[in-house]
């Protein structure tokens, strides 16, 4: 018995052949809608769902049916049928029939189904077969009266060579040939390029569409897919990169054929936009001859179509198996290797129970239907066989149906959205099995109810899988920000009361005053995206704030001992400790804002700080003015200069000789400037008050004295400059550091106690006997020196040259003058007569 090709009917049969991006599928849909009724068979459930939704938009849901293995949406009076090739209702007469990707007649697994449609699927008025140009010779042989129309590609395809995954151009699709490789590549692209959408044939249409939407919207610029994208899935891909050149075809791992590479690579480019293809660094480079074939769309013609007898004999089990073994007697057809359904049938034929039950024609047809059950979860052969046997026993049992209890138990085991990608994917595959059973006529009790429930569960798990895929392979914050950068004028930027900045709902950092700190990203790419988005989003707000700062009154500013200049209580600038106290330099925080606005804000801070230091450090300011104007001359000028350089405190021992040479008038002049000359120090007491000290400390560069206050402590190993110590009211004494006022208080108590300190003195001074002893030793004094008193001239140092001059200039005492008078020499009585 043979299944010969049918002869030419009155209907027109046309084969529209050409490479990808020639608009063949679009043409078929438009031609179908031009008829009162029609049917189109597509190679993938994903593509069938895409075309179904397109036709529904044009003709309404009541006019369109969707029929696949796992899904049936059939309104009461459909006019158009969108199906997978396997599910095409061949007994339905329609005006128009189309079969897409007809070159799959050569596919070892599914080719016999496409061959059957090529030979037998016909519309009353028009039939279209769509496929690659390599099918032309075979179609002429198998369908001699078919008209063959060639279509040219709308855009050019060129070879771009190998490239690293991290260097691929945007709008690239990376093609891999296993789920593990797809996931690994997508993970790398997430870390290095922000993320990727994932498309695989095993995904449900809902998940696949959601993933494609990520790519189409520009939220991600990369797509990682299996070779499913070669089957008519239209996306805006500019470049296709092969991550490998081998695939497992169901029987063995083999190299890709040239026409397969061309089919996949042809997805690059859209309409009139050119595309490129290449390989990743992990794949071997393409042979130049192969590249030429792909670019010029020159492939070896398909020489034969896979065929399996479509007229099966259900008289007996052996007869059914023999009919499957029938060989074609028509040139251009070859017998297909046993597919999964035939393998299952032969296995079942060895079972005693099957031999006993499968005696009637009806039971044999039930057995064959059960053997055609697809293995969606890709379980072990034994597990799938047991499922098929259970279905057969249920359908041939007393009730003639799969029981609702059995179905509900399997459904309950899948009704969970816990777990990650692999677990959700496995549940979806299990739901596809249940959907297939529920959509088979006469297989299940309450089938309509369970069709609705399985469809709802598939939709829910599909949404969860999309979320899991996106969470794992898309750096959502980075992609949102990168999209916002493209459409910055429409980006939604928010600044909360506490300064948190968000762009399109994604937190990008915190704005404090005029300073913005971007959040650190989990990757270098995310960090860059955060920084770019933040700068663009925050820059206008900072520009406004800089303008307000420059116009603020003095009351809006403040300064901290750490050198921070505050604006409205918020850190706005940092004092440069190397600058002049009375002509300070301030470094404005942040880097955003125009140069002019930043300069105005910086000058305002510096102007305020100069005024503040002039007010807080008024004694030093007066000394500086007197020095520069010449109001102070001679020794007072020198002492004032040293005080100015030291920050208002100097060691008396260092200027003792100068002090001894000062006149009373000069001392009074220094005292009018607030200078006090104590027993151990010369200082400006007004600078030891809290406000002047805080301002002075602001110029120490954030240095903080760590010693115990108000006691004595050791000098740090790296002695700080005197000016830094002065800001804290301290000065160095040998190897120690002590407060100026403590030294003077100790001197006064020693003087009162005639060189000794009592226990009460030590307690009042807050010192231990050890600290006092160490400090006195460091001061190297044998007695307590008395501080200067108004109207009193201190006794000069014994070896001071000024003491010698003073002694020479002093008037002599008359008594001392008498004592010093030399005795008159007696005249000599000799020498004359």
Range among 200-214, 222-236, 606-620, 818-832 with highest mean pLDDT value:
606-620
Question: Both 262 and 137 in a single domain?
Answer: no
Question: Both 23 and 145 in a single domain?
Answer: yes
> Is 353 within the bounds of a domain?
no
Question: Tokens standing for 473?
Answer: 């392979």
Note the pLDDT of residue 269. 82
Whether 829 shows a pLDDT value over 50: the answer reads no
Paired residues of 493 in beta bridges = 503
> Is 28 within the bounds of a domain?
yes
Question: Both 201 and 53 in a single domain?
Answer: no
Beta-carbon contacts of residue 469 (< 8 Å; ≥ 6 apart): 197, 198, 207, 211, 421
For the segment 518-531, what is each residue's pLDDT rounded down to a tens digit?
766 656 666 666 66
Note the pLDDT of residue 125. 96
Note the pLDDT of residue 504. 62
> Contact 101/6 with Cβ under 8 angstroms?
no
Across the range 735-754, mean pLDDT stands at 83
Question: Both 58 and 97 in a single domain?
Answer: yes
Whether 799 shows a pLDDT value over 80: the answer reads no
Whether 804 shows a pLDDT value over 70: the answer reads no
Nearest to 697 by CA among 558, 560, 557: 560
Question: Both 137 and 193 in a single domain?
Answer: no
Whether 235 shows a pLDDT value over 90: the answer reads no
Note the pLDDT of residue 624. 92
Whether 818 shows a pLDDT value over 70: the answer reads no
Predicted confidence band of residue 775 (pLDDT cuts 50, 70, 90): confident
Q: At what angle do helices 595-616 and 618-629 cross, to 10 degrees?
A: 90
Note the pLDDT of residue 617. 93
Whether 806 shows a pLDDT value over 50: the answer reads no
Half-sphere exposure of 424 (CA within 13 A, CB side): 21
Whether 375 shows a pLDDT value over 80: the answer reads yes
For the segment 560-578, what is each residue's pLDDT rounded down to a tens digit?
999 999 999 999 999 998 8
Note the pLDDT of residue 541. 84
Range in 101-115, 226-240, 322-336, 566-580 with the lowest mean pLDDT: 226-240
> Is 267 within the bounds of a domain?
yes
Q: Is the CA virtual torsion 339, 345, 348, 349 positive or negative?
A: negative
Question: Both 145 and 165 in a single domain?
Answer: no
Predicted confidence band of residue 482 (pLDDT cuts 50, 70, 90): low
Question: Tokens standing for 202?
Answer: 């095993």
Query: Residue 114's CB: how many other CB atoms inside 10 A?
Result: 27
Note the pLDDT of residue 744. 86
Nearest to 102 by CA among 67, 52, 139, 66: 139
> Is 431 within the bounds of a domain?
no
**Dist. CA 779–CA 796, nearest whole Å:** 18
**Which one is predicted more confidently, 567 or 746?**
567
Whether 381 shows a pLDDT value over 80: the answer reads yes
Question: Both 638 and 767 in a single domain?
Answer: yes
Residue linked to tokens 């925080």: 589
Note the pLDDT of residue 476. 66
Whether 501 shows a pLDDT value over 60: the answer reads yes
DSSP secondary structure string for all residues of 96-137: EEEES-GGGGG-TTTHHHHHHHHHH---SSEEEEEE-GGGHH
Question: Tokens standing for 179?
Answer: 């789920």
> Contact 236/270 with Cβ under 8 angstroms?
yes
Tell me the Ramachandran region of residue 250: left when phi exceeds 0, alpha when psi lies from -120 to 50, beta otherwise: left
**Dist. CA 382–CA 370, nearest whole Å:** 15
* 55-63 CB contacts, 8 Å cutoff, 24+ apart: 55/29, 55/80, 55/82, 58/33, 59/33
Instruction: Specify burial of residue 266 (Cβ count, 10 A radius: 0-12, 13-18, 19+).
Output: buried
Across the range 371-378, mean pLDDT stands at 92
Whether 61 shows a pLDDT value over 60: the answer reads yes
Average pLDDT over the chain reads: 85
Question: Both 253 and 166 in a single domain?
Answer: yes
Whether 608 shows a pLDDT value over 90: the answer reads yes
Beta-carbon contacts of residue 806 (< 8 Å; ≥ 6 apart): 796
What are the helix (H) ranges across 710-822?
722-726, 740-752, 759-765, 769-779, 801-809, 814-820
> Contact 128/16 with Cβ under 8 angstroms?
yes
Whether 237 shows a pLDDT value over 70: the answer reads yes
Predicted confidence band of residue 454 (pLDDT cuts 50, 70, 90): very high
Across the range 78-91, mean pLDDT stands at 95
Question: Tokens standing for 823?
Answer: 């005795």
> Is 516 within the bounds of a domain?
no
> Is 162 within the bounds of a domain?
yes
Whether 592 shows a pLDDT value over 90: the answer reads no
Across the range 615-630, mean pLDDT stands at 92
Q: What is the CATH number of the domain that holds 201?
A: 3.40.50.300
Range in 41-45, 324-328, 702-706, 812-816 with the lowest mean pLDDT: 812-816
Query: Domain end: 129, 150, 171, which one?
Result: 150
For the segment 138-171, what is each residue's pLDDT rounded down to a tens digit?
999 999 999 999 998 878 899 999 999 888 999 9
For the segment 286-311, what is each residue's pLDDT rounded down to a tens digit?
999 999 999 988 899 999 999 999 89
Range in 385-394, 451-460, 790-799 with the lowest mean pLDDT: 790-799
Residue linked to tokens 């938009």: 57
Question: Both 87 and 105 in a single domain?
Answer: yes
Note the pLDDT of residue 757. 76
Across the range 796-817, mean pLDDT stands at 47
Query: Residue 566's CB: how many other CB atoms inside 10 A?
Result: 16
Note the pLDDT of residue 468. 92
Nearest to 142 by CA among 306, 21, 378, 275: 306
**Dist. CA 424–CA 692, nearest whole Å:** 69
pLDDT above 70 covers a percentage of the chain that reads 86
Distances in Å between the alpha carbon of 821 and those of 174, 806, 813, 814? 120, 22, 12, 10
Distances in Å between the alpha carbon of 707 and those of 51, 280, 456, 647? 81, 64, 73, 19
pLDDT above 90 covers a percentage of the chain that reads 53
* Beta strand pairing call for 681-683 and 649-651: antiparallel
> Is 803 within the bounds of a domain?
yes
Query: Residue 532's CB: how many other CB atoms inside 10 A?
Result: 17
Paired residues of 273 in beta bridges = 270
Parent domain of 757 = 617-808
Q: At what angle do helices 361-371 and 340-349 cross, to 10 degrees?
A: 130
DSSP secondary structure string for all residues of 369-431: HHHT---TT---HHHHHHHHHHHHHHHTSSS-SB-HHHHHHHHHHH----S-HHHHHHHHHHH
- Taking only Cα atoms into account, the Rg of the chain, rounded to an integer number of angstroms, comes to 49
Question: Both 142 and 196 in a single domain?
Answer: no
**Which one is predicted more confidently, 198 or 798?**
198
Question: Both 174 and 80 in a single domain?
Answer: no
Question: Tokens standing for 594?
Answer: 């125009």
Distances in Å between the alpha carbon of 580 and those of 382, 644, 667, 724? 89, 11, 28, 14
**Dist. CA 244–CA 281, nearest whole Å:** 10
Across the range 303-323, mean pLDDT stands at 94
As a dihedral over the C-alpha atoms of residue 556, residue 560, residue 563, residue 564, rounded to 10 degrees, the angle is -40
Query: Domain end: 88, 118, 150, which one?
Result: 150
Nearest to 443 by CA among 456, 429, 454: 454
Task: Give phi and psi for 702, each to the nearest 5.
Answer: 85, 5
What is the end-to-end Cα distance of the chain in Å, rounded? 193
**Dist. CA 403–CA 191, nearest whole Å:** 49
> Contact 110/84 with Cβ under 8 angstroms?
no
* Beta strand pairing call for 586-588 and 570-575: antiparallel
**Dist. CA 207–CA 213, nearest whole Å:** 10
Note the pLDDT of residue 301. 93
Query: Domain end: 252, 276, 296, which one?
Result: 296
> Is 478 within the bounds of a domain?
no
- Helix (H) or strand (E) holding 574, with range, is strand 570-575
The domain tally of the chain equals 3
Question: Both 120 and 24 in a single domain?
Answer: yes
Whether 44 shows a pLDDT value over 50: the answer reads yes
């Amino acid at each position: 018995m043979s299944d010969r090709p049918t002869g030419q009917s009155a209907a027109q049969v046309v084969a529209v052949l050409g490479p990808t991006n020639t608009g063949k599928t679009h043409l078929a849909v438009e031609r179908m809608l031009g008829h009162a009724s029609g049917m189109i068979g597509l190679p993938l459930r994903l593509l069938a769902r895409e075309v179904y939704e397109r036709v529904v938009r044009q003709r309404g849901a009541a006019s369109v049916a969707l029929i696949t293995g796992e899904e049936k949406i059939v309104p009461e009076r459909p006019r158009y049928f969108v199906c997978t090739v396997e599910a095409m209702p061949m007994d339905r007469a329609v005006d128009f029939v189309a079969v897409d990707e007809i070159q799959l007649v050569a596919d070892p697994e599914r080719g016999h189904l496409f061959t059957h449609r090529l030979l037998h699927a016909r519309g009353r008025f028009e039939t279209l077969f769509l496929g690659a140009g390599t099918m032309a010779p075979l179609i002429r042989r198998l369908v001699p009266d078919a008209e063959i129309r060639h279509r040219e590609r709308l855009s050019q395809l060129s070879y771009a060579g190998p490239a690293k995954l991290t260097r691929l151009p945007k709008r690239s699709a990376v093609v891999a040939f296993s789920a593990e490789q797809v996931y690994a590549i997508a993970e790398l692209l997430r870390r290095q390029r922000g993320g990727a959408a994932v498309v695989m044939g095993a995904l449900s249409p809902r998940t696949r569409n959601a993933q494609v939407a990520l790519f189409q919207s520009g939220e991600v610029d990369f797509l990682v897919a299996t070779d499913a994208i070669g089957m008519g899935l239209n996306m805006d891909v500019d470049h296709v990169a092969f991550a490998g050149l081998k695939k497992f075809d169901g029987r063995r791992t083999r190299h890709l054929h040239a026409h397969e590479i061309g089919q996949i690579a042809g997805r690059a480019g859209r309409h009139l936009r050119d595309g490129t293809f290449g390989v990743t660094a992990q794949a071997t480079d393409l042979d130049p001859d192969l590249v030429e074939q792909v670019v010029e769309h020159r492939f070896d013609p398909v020489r034969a179509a896979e065929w399996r007898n479509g007229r099966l004999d259900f008289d007996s089990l052996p007869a059914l198996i023999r009919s499957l073994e029938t060989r074609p007697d028509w040139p251009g057809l070859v017998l297909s290797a046993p597919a999964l359904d035939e393998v299952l049938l032969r296995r079942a034929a060895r079972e005693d129970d099957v031999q006993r039950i499968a005696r009637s024609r009806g039971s044999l047809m039930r057995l064959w239907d059960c053997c055609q059950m697809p293995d969606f979860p890709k379980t072990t052969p034994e597990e799938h066989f047991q499922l098929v046997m259970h279905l057969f026993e249920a359908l041939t049992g007393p009730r003639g149906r799969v029981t609702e209890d059995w179905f509900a138990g399997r459904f309950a085991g899948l009704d969970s959205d816990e777990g990650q990608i692999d677990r959700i994917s496995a549940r979806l595959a299990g739901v596809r099995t249940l959907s297939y059973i529920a959509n088979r006529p006469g297989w299940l009790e309450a089938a309509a109810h369970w069709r609705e429930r399985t469809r709802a569960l598939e939709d829910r798990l599909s949404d969860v899988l999309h979320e899991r895929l996106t969470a794992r392979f898309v750096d959502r914050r980075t992609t949102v920000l990168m999209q916002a950068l493209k459409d910055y004028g429409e980006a939604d930027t928010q600044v909360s009361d506490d300064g948190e900045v968000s762009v399109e709902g994604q937190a990008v950092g915190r704005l404090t005053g005029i300073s913005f700190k971007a959040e650190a990203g989990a990757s270098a790419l995310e960090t860059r995206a955060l920084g770019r988005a933040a700068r663009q989003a925050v820059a206008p707000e900072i520009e406004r704030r800089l303008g307000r700062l420059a116009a603020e009154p003095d009351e809006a500013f403040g300064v901290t001992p750490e050198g921070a200049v505050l604006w409205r209580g918020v850190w706005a600038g940092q004092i440069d400790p190397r600058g002049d106290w009375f002509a300070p330099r301030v470094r404005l925080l942040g880097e955003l804002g125009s140069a002019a606005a930043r300069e105005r804000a910086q000058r305002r801070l510096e102007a305020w700080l100069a005024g503040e230091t002039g007010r807080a450090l008024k004694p030093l300011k007066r000394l500086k003015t007197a020095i520069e104007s010449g109001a102070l001359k001679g020794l007072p000028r020198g002492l004032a200069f040293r005080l100015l350089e030291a920050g208002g405190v100097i060691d008396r021992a260092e200027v003792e000789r100068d002090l001894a040479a000062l006149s009373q008038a000069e001392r009074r002049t220094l005292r009018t400037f607030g200078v006090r000359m104590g027993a151990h120090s010369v200082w400006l007491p007004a600078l030891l008050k809290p406000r002047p000290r805080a301002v002075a400390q602001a110029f120490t560069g954030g240095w903080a004295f760590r010693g115990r206050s108000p006691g004595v402590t050791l000098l740090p190993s790296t002695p700080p400059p005197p000016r830094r110590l002065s800001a804290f009211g301290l000065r160095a004494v040998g190897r120690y550091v002590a407060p100026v006022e403590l030294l003077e208080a100790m001197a006064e108590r020693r003087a009162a106690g005639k060189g000794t300190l009592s226990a009460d003195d030590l307690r009042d001074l807050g010192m231990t006997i050890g600290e006092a002893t160490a400090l006195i030793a460091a001061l190297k004094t044998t007695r307590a020196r008395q501080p200067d008193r108004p109207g009193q001239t201190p006794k000069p140092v014994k070896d001071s040259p000024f003491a010698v001059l003073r002694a020479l200039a002093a008037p002599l005492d008359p008594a001392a003058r008498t004592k010093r008078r030399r005795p008159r020499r007696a005249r000599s009585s000799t020498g004359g007569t």
